[in-house]
Amino acid sequence: MPFVGGCLVAALLLFGLRRNDESLLGPADWGVIAVAAGSTVAWASGPAASQQIEAWTDPAATAFAERHANLGEFVIIVWAIAALAALWGIFLRRAGRPSPRWRTPVLLVLICMGIAMAAWAGHEGGRIRHEELRHGVEAPATQEGNAEPSVEGTTEGAR
């Protein structure tokens, strides 16, 4: 949610800035709030998933899960700050007052930071389950007898 939704909101905000169209900035503000809410829901599902990962015997998965969780907290913080800036813009529009000129560029920077942090957190989350993404980490043999990743991250076929 934070990555894809953030990209859509950033595109809408950039389009509104490029066209100098204030009517597009309102939906962009609401989009930021929606992405922040969706990010919160995704973050709230983390503790249950973390408990399941701790049951695995793979210490590398646990380490990647901890990094994923820490990055997820930063994602939530960035999107919460962006949501506050968006709420401020909505409040100013409803009050009939102009928004400061610096608010929209700052909001865009926050959105870009949220997108980048979400991509990084997503990559670390993918490394929890996908051994082929673990460069330099020896993964244990799978129980189903599938291919076992080597140190370089390549898979050797089952013989």
Determine contact, residues 111/13, Cβ cutoff 8 Å: yes
pLDDT tens digits for range 41-100: 888 877 766 666 666 656 666 777 788 888 888 999 999 999 999 999 999 999 989 888
State the amino acid at position 50 in one-letter form: S
Residue 151 has pLDDT above 80, yes or no: no
Is the pLDDT score of 135 beyond 60? Answer: no
Amino acid, res. 145: G
The predicted pLDDT at position 131 comes to 62
- The residue length of the chain stands at 159
Q: What value does the mean pLDDT take over residues 122-147?
A: 59
Q: Which helix (H) or strand (E) holds 148?
A: strand 148-149
Q: What is the pLDDT of residue 152?
A: 45
Tokens of 17: 């800035």
In the prediction, which pLDDT does 87 show? 96
Question: What is the identity of the amino acid at 43?
Answer: W
pLDDT tens, 11-42? 999 998 888 888 888 999 999 999 999 988 88
The answer to whether 95 touches 115, Cβ cutoff 8 Å, is: no
Nearest to 32 by CA among 122, 109, 119, 94: 109
